[in-house]
A and B are shown apart, each in its own frame.
Chain A
Amino acid sequence: MSELTKKLDDEYKLSTFSQGVKDCIPTLFGYISIGIAAGIVGASSNLSVLEVALLSILVYAGAAQFIICALIVAGSPIYVIVFTTFIVNLRHLLLCMTLAPYFTKYSLWKNIGIGALVTDESFGVAANKIVQKETFNDRWMNGLNITAYIFWILSCVAGAIFGKWISNPEVLGLDFALTAMFLALLVLQLEHIDAGKLKFYLSLIGYVVVFMLIFSMFMPSYIAIILATIIVATIGVVKDK
């Protein structure tokens, strides 16, 4: 009985907004340090604080914001900047395709609200829930997404305002927060697959590394990321029979 109560209690806790907020905490190091850096880069690209704020509110994508600033400084035409941003952020399509099947029972507007705030990090935390076969719902996802969103905007604005006085986050190793998080997420993914399939998954990881290194010689890394992922996921389907 107590076991059942505990299980129900766990499920309840896992599906609250506040649990989503809590699960967001490990990713905040990444958001804050990269957000501040994005704000600094924005300000040094002659964007006003308001423009940096709008960029983080409306675009809300780390890598893209850096590239947009770089292209503005380079004096690129608007259509080049918009098209590059489209390509850089196209990987969200893969992330959202993976997450969307878990939210089909909710209303269209709720789905749009969840999709609009998906990032590499929030996807990572949700993918971790999926692989552990834990329950989660719309409230949890919103708690996760909205916490990240607020911290990102505040960090970007702080970077734009106080950038002159903040030392380079790279010196402190803070920019590595993101890589460390992806390492942990990768380990957590592998931990929850069938023991018999570990070798198979390790071979897929090997393929991704090789494809990334080869593709990065010929194309921007944001395209290499999408191509390597698509190709190796396909190899996975073909070899998994």
Chain B
Amino acid sequence: MSINMTILLIIVGCAIVTFIPRVIPFIVIRNIALPKVVVQWLSFIPVCIFTALIVDSFIIQDTAVLAIDWRVLTAIIPTLLIALWTKSLSATVLVGIVCMATVRFFV
């Protein structure tokens, strides 16, 4: 059990810059009424960010050219169908894990 001074400095610095964007909206929005257009803009954030995070999961950036992780994309299809069918978070996650493991086992 030891803590290196440089590592500690890195951890504390990273903690501060992570804390700020998380907390600022919760401090600022208390004191101002958001304009209607901003509220409307914010209503699109969930759909956009979920899609972006899904796309991010099948993009491989390690290589010089952008590549697609076809195994992940293959697992996404049955998982999406299960999500549409069950509308359940837990069922989708469980089936998703099984699909991904199956695809990795065979491909």
Measured CB to CB, the residues of A under 8 A from B are 25-27, 29-30, 47-51, 54-55, 58-61, 64, 68, 72, 78, 81-83, 85-86, 89-101, 103-104, 108, 111-112, 114-118, 120, 123-125, 127-128, 130-131, 170-191, 201, 204-205, 208-209, 212-213, 216-217, 220-221, 224-225, 228-229, 232-234, 236-237, 240
Q: How far is the CA of A68 from the CA of B99 in the complex (A)?
A: 30
5 contacts between A and B (CB under 8 A): A58-B12, A81-B13, A176-B100, A188-B87, A209-B55
What are the nearest 4 A-B pairs in CB distance?
Answer: A180-B96, A173-B101, A173-B100, A176-B100
Contact B76 A179 (CB under 8 A): yes
Q: Are A187 and B87 in contact (CB under 8 A)?
A: yes
Q: Which listed residue, A72, A115, A185, touches B22 by the CB 8 Å rule?
A: A115
By the criterion CB–CB under 8 Å, are B47 and A81 in contact? Answer: no
B interface secondary structure, majority: helix
Which residue from chain A places its CB closest to the CB of B17 in the assembled complex?
Answer: A86
Dominant secondary structure of chain A at its interface with chain B: helix
- A59 & B14 in contact (Cβ 8 Å cutoff): yes
Interface residues on B, range: 35 or more
Given A183-B79, A212-B55, answer yes or no on A228-B48 (Cβ-Cβ < 8 Å).
Answer: yes
Instruction: Let me know if B107 is at the binding interface, CB within 8 A.
Output: no
Q: How far is the CB of A232 from chain B (nearest CB, A)?
A: 5
Question: How far apart sit A179 and B17, CA to CA, in the bound complex (Å)?
Answer: 26
Which residues from A are CB-within-8-Å of B96?
173, 176-177, 179-181, 183
Given contacts A58-B12, A96-B24, 4 further A-B contacts (CB under 8 A): A179-B54, A180-B83, A182-B53, A185-B89
